[in-house]
Amino acid sequence: MLGLLAHKWSWRARRQAAGLPYDKPNVVYSGLVHTCWEKAAKYFDLEARVVPVDPDRTYLHGDDIAPYVDENTVAVGAIVGNTFTGQVDDVQSIDAALQQIQADKGWFVPIHVDGASGGFVAPFLAPDVVWDFRLEHVRSINLSNHKFGLVYAGMGTVVFRDRSDVPDELVFDITYLGGSAPTYSLNFSQSSVGTVLQYFQFLRLGRQGYETVMRAASDNAAYLQEKLEAFGRFTFLNEGSFMPVLAFKITDPESAGHTVYDISDALRAEGWIVPAYPLPPHGEETHVLRIVVKDDFSRSLIDLFLESAENVLKKLGGQLEPPPAAVTAKKARPIC
């Protein structure tokens, strides 16, 4: 929200300076965004131009955006690890498309990257994927530290490429706390415990430690996916993503005799919360289950989950496919 608000004010200032109308701002993003994008559009009077979901490619590509961008576009949203499938938008191609639009039309359109899930994962698991300030049009990035930053729930961060990306009018200088305290936020008084813990984790783990934690989560996600695939029931939508997130649908829902919602309900009865939901508009006929594999989802815990999943599937749909020999022989190994 703070990122889009800053880009809206910057866009308006550019339009005012050029003597152009500034009453119809819009923002472009895919239908796979977190609800905070929808809130930002509604709260800040931005027309939401939503790129429809393609169930066969659940990420945004530069080829998708040209029909939606115009001189009133305050920003294009790109996601590193979307909420629905864990896929990563092709930010590099989006940047290239916006460079071409700027060359052809003269419109400068910034990118705000929603790195809520992937911002703490990409640098360690996919350092060669270019999605950040290495790209010309990326001007702001948000992170949810409480996801893979390994801190308490409720902490988030927004990082701007340059001080000039935040209009001075949006920054308030508070003096009544003693001294000068500039602030740009949507709230005010809150605990500093998340920030203190985040600094501690940086110092304690460092880059190597975070990479070790993320690599373990990734290995566990691959292990879990392999085991679930062995049931012979599911098709995965997270293929090619480096995120430790599994999103999968029933391969043949008509012959299965049950839905992902039946599976979700039955797993909940066993003590596991695995959300089930349809993809956003234009993809709503696809219904998926999602599992986020974080640092505390160990191999032993995964094996317990798989026992429950096997019991649930047997109750709902009879015999399962026998697991491949390679999967049966694989031994679980402990992780940190």
CA distance linking residue 172 with residue 161, whole number of Å: 20
- Under CATH, to which class is 2-190 assigned? alpha beta
The β-bridge relationship of strands 181-183 and 172-174 is antiparallel
Residue 333: pLDDT over 50:
no
CA-based nearest residue to 286, from 84, 78, 3, 69:
84
Task: Write out pLDDT tens, residues 62-116.
Answer: 999 999 999 999 999 999 999 999 999 999 999 999 999 999 999 999 999 999 9
In the predicted model, what is the mean pLDDT of residues 19-42? 96
76 DSSP β-pair partners: 28, 111
Among all chains, which residue has been given the structure tokens 């049950």? 258
Query: Residues 213-241: what's their mean pLDDT?
Result: 96
Domain limits, the chain? 2-190, 206-329
Give SS3 for 262.
helix
**Residues, the chain:** 336
The CATH number assigned to the domain with range 206-329 reads 3.90.1150.160
Q: What is the greatest pairwise CA distance in the chain?
A: 70
Tell me if residue 181 falls in helix, strand or coil.
Answer: strand
CB atoms < 10 A from the CB of 141, how many? 23
DSSP, collapsed to helix, strand or coil, labels residue 269 as helix
Strand, coil or helix: 51: strand
Phi then psi for 13, rounded to 5 degrees?
Answer: -65, -40
